[in-house]
Amino acid sequence: MTAATAPRSSVARLLVVGADRALHHSTARDLPALIRAGDVVVANDAATMPASLAGTHGPTGAAIEVRLAGRRSLIAHRTRRFVAVLFGDGDHRTPTEHRPLPPATQAGDRLRLGPLDALVERVLGHPRLVEIAFVGPLDDVWGGIARHGRPIQYAHVPQPLALWSTWTRLASVPAAFEPPSAGFVLDWAMVQRLRDRGAGFATLTHAAGISSTGDAGLDARLPFDEPYRIPAATASQIDAARLAGGRVIAIGTTVVRALEHAALPGGRVRSGHGVATGRLGPETRLRVVDAILSGTHEPGTSHYELLRAFEADDVLDAVARELEASGYQTHEFGDLVWLTRAATDRAMGVGPFEAARAAGSPLAYSAGRGAFP
């Protein structure tokens, strides 16, 4: 697939994998047609931070780029420490895999990043990967990031991005390091169309991480741990929809990571703050999410591995061939795919939700919403 080279100027294309595993071409504006009464659609409302900071390496004076890539909490007044990926001289116009290594860095080194100073606290097993702590009052730290930082950007988008080009229309808390890009499909008119179909709509906040470090070994460690917050109202809405036989539809991989990490025995969802760890993949038994609207992803990436939790490899292989043959675009401003996990898979779990749905309990029909998905 080719990479999208600019923010979306028109509606994205959408490849739908049907319940019979047939492939159907559609557009993102037709998303409501895939939604059933009683479903709940969940989106990530994280706004994208200006997480790329140019500066110099204090001990050597060499040019350096710091890409913030991980944080321990979504609570800003508690956050001055970040996991960061370091690059040497250059900018986004050079493909990430061709960017030079940073100058040799060790704990205690000072990084001068525009109006900010940061100290390297640890090197995390790779010369590009460090934990840093910003120096100074937190208000000054966040103000400095806002003024000096730029969106993380890759060579397939040649023109410098404005920060607002990386925000979804539902963006709220500045928490993501790169856009939760499946959410570009949503605006409030689309949300109303989903509600007109009889579906619920809810949000969570998840610190969407970076998609590439430029190093194959380091990319194999993605995704890094990512904090999230699930509001109590969102958890309640998901639980009620599942009890009534509705499906949980995730807009993007970050929503899947948060909901599955917060899943309790029986498939209920724990509200509050958490940190999603580890990879989801073909060995993962999904306990909450039934379908996903996702960007198109290349095999071997952590995003693609997550899609293997929804579909068998032969189906995903057919999807990849069709995307390529039909000229779909990839990366953050690219096109979309729709995947559902098989109904038989959804009935294999244990607990009140899965048992009610598998047995045809009246509980699953209590809202009068028809057949099981």
Residues of the chain with pLDDT > 90, as a percent, come to: 80
Give the residue numbers spanning the domain of 22. Answer: 2-47+161-365
**In terms of domains, do 167 and 305 share one?**
yes
**In terms of domains, do 276 and 130 share one?**
no
Residue 113 lies in a domain: yes
Average confidence (pLDDT) over 247-263 = 98
Selected residue with higher pLDDT from 121 and 352: 121
Q: Structure tokens of 124?
A: 């995390």
**In terms of domains, do 61 and 10 share one?**
no
- How does the average pLDDT of the chain come out, rounded? 90
Given 148, 177, 196, the domain boundary residue is: 148
- Specify the DSSP element, H or E, that contains 127: none
Alpha helices by DSSP H, the chain: 138-148, 188-196, 216-219, 232-243, 253-261, 302-307, 313-325, 343-346, 352-359
| Burial class of residue 4 (count of CB atoms within 10 Å of its CB; 0-12, 13-18, 19+) | buried
**In terms of domains, do 122 and 212 share one?**
no
The 10s digit of each residue's pLDDT in 32-69 is: 999 999 999 999 999 999 999 999 999 999 999 999 99
**In terms of domains, do 283 and 357 share one?**
yes
Q: How far is CA 207 from CA 55, 237, 246, 253, 295, in A?
A: 24, 22, 27, 12, 17
Residues of the chain with pLDDT > 70, as a percent, come to: 90
Task: Report which of 253, 250, 255, 252 is spatially closest to residue 228, judged by C-alpha positions.
Answer: 255
**In terms of domains, do 305 and 168 share one?**
yes
What pLDDT, on the 0 to 100 scale, is given for residue 10? 59
pLDDT reading at 353 higher than 90: no
The 10s digit of each residue's pLDDT in 139-171 is: 999 999 999 999 999 999 989 999 999 999 999
Residue 370 lies in a domain: no
The 10s digit of each residue's pLDDT in 207-243 is: 999 999 989 999 999 999 999 999 999 999 999 999 9
Q: How many domains does the chain have?
A: 2
pLDDT reading at 362 higher than 80: no
The pTM of this model reads: 0.90
Residue type, 69: A
**In terms of domains, do 187 and 62 share one?**
no
Given 100, 126, 148, the domain boundary residue is: 148
pLDDT reading at 364 higher than 80: no
